[in-house]
Amino acid sequence: MSSQAQDLQPYRHFTVNLLCGAGGAEISGVDASQPLGAEVMAELRRALADYCVLFFRDQTLTPAQQIAFARQFGALAETPFIQPLEGHPEMMRIVRERQETKKQNFGGRWHTDMTFSEAPVLGTCLYSRESPAVGGDTIWTNQMLAFDALSPGMQRTLEKLRVMHSARRSYGPKGTYADDDLKGMRINVSEIAERETAHPCVRTHPENGRSILFVNWVYAIRFEDMTEEESAPLLDFLNRHSQRPEFQIRFRWRAGSLALWDNRSTQHIAVNDYPGYRRVMDRLTIAGDKPFYRPQG
């Protein structure tokens, strides 16, 4: 992974299999359908901060069981602009039908979930109910590594900046989904999406104290007190930098796979490479806190 992984304490209640150098860990020995004890939860929270994304294979979960699992990490946050799953207001069902041929898929651009909120979500819990035989992977980037790889001068510059986030590029009247027809989902375009919220360009991870590059293509639209045009060159550089292969974590889904990722320290993208296949995922988001920055040391 990175230098911080070398001194990680061992885990006593489950097995961790690191997927790649940037992070991502398959967890064995945890049944997500059952209540987990305090010691197991403490280790899972530590693993989430250590590895950014946790994967649990071969899980059999009802929506209620997935909700109960996610609630052990904190209160759940409802997702604005998306019609929830009937009977479960906390849950969003992401569906891509076989016959959908449009280039845009849901989650198909690099982003961090709901950074347009005053308190962006802590994490996201995604469960595969139906996966394509080919394709349909999700890729994450480790934004702690992305910050560490910047020059000291760029780090110092970014530490002083704040970024305006907004949902308008996706859910505003002129956004991506305004004229799109995602047949398997109901997306509610709204003027509310035009609102902007300021967050630090570099945030501090509240659990491990590391600095995180907190920008993304979809919701980070400009720097505070600057125009979008003025902001674009630096934001474009930072977003391209974030996608470097050595920061990436890639996961091949199959039905019954469960992923939990740290939304504070990652970006992600749903790869749209499975024409003619159906993909069904159930998503929950865990409420978070307002981002802050505290210099290391």
Structural domains in the chain, CATH included, are 11-286 (3.60.130.10)
3-state class (DSSP) for residue 178: coil
Known catalytic membership, residue 113: yes
Q: What is the pLDDT of residue 2?
A: 43
pLDDT per position as a tens digit, 138-173: 999 999 999 999 999 999 999 999 999 998 877 776
Asked if residues 223 and 231 have their Cβ atoms less than 8 Å apart, the reply is: yes
Mean pLDDT value across residues 114-134 = 97
Query: β-strands 23-28, 53-56: how paired?
Result: parallel
pLDDT class for 188, splitting at 50, 70, 90?
Answer: confident
The Cα–Cα gap between 175 and 74 comes to 31
Q: Which of 93, 111, 210, 222 is catalytic?
A: 111
Which residue spans within 143-291 are E strands per DSSP? Answer: 162-166, 196-200, 202-204, 211-213, 220-223, 248-251, 258-262, 266-270, 279-286
Q: Say how many residues make up the chain.
A: 297
Q: Which of 168, 210, 264, 283 is catalytic?
A: 283
Q: What is the mean pLDDT of the chain?
A: 92
Known catalytic membership, residue 241: no
The Cα–Cα gap between 142 and 22 comes to 6
The Cα–Cα gap between 101 and 99 comes to 6
Q: Which of 93, 169, 210, 268 is catalytic?
A: 268
Q: What is the pLDDT of residue 81?
A: 81
Beta bridge partners of 95: 280
Read off the DSSP letter of residue 88.
B
Known catalytic membership, residue 195: no
Known catalytic membership, residue 268: yes
**How many C-beta atoms lie closer than 10 Å to residue 273's C-beta?**
12
Q: Give percent above pLDDT 70 in the chain.
A: 92
pLDDT class for 123, splitting at 50, 70, 90?
Answer: very high
The Cα–Cα gap between 11 and 22 comes to 19
Read off the DSSP letter of residue 219.
T
Evaluate the CA torsion angle 231, 22, 106, 283 in order and state its sign: negative
Alpha helices, DSSP H, located in the chain: 38-51, 63-71, 143-148, 152-159, 168-171, 228-242
The Cα–Cα gap between 247 and 242 comes to 7
pLDDT class for 297, splitting at 50, 70, 90?
Answer: low
Q: Which of 50, 113, 262, 282 is catalytic?
A: 113
Flag whether pLDDT at 91 surpasses 50: yes
φ, ψ (nearest 5 deg) of residue 29: 100, 15
pLDDT class for 9, splitting at 50, 70, 90?
Answer: low
Q: Which amino acid is at 201?
A: C
The Cα–Cα gap between 192 and 21 comes to 40
Q: What is the pLDDT of residue 45?
A: 97
pLDDT class for 198, splitting at 50, 70, 90?
Answer: very high
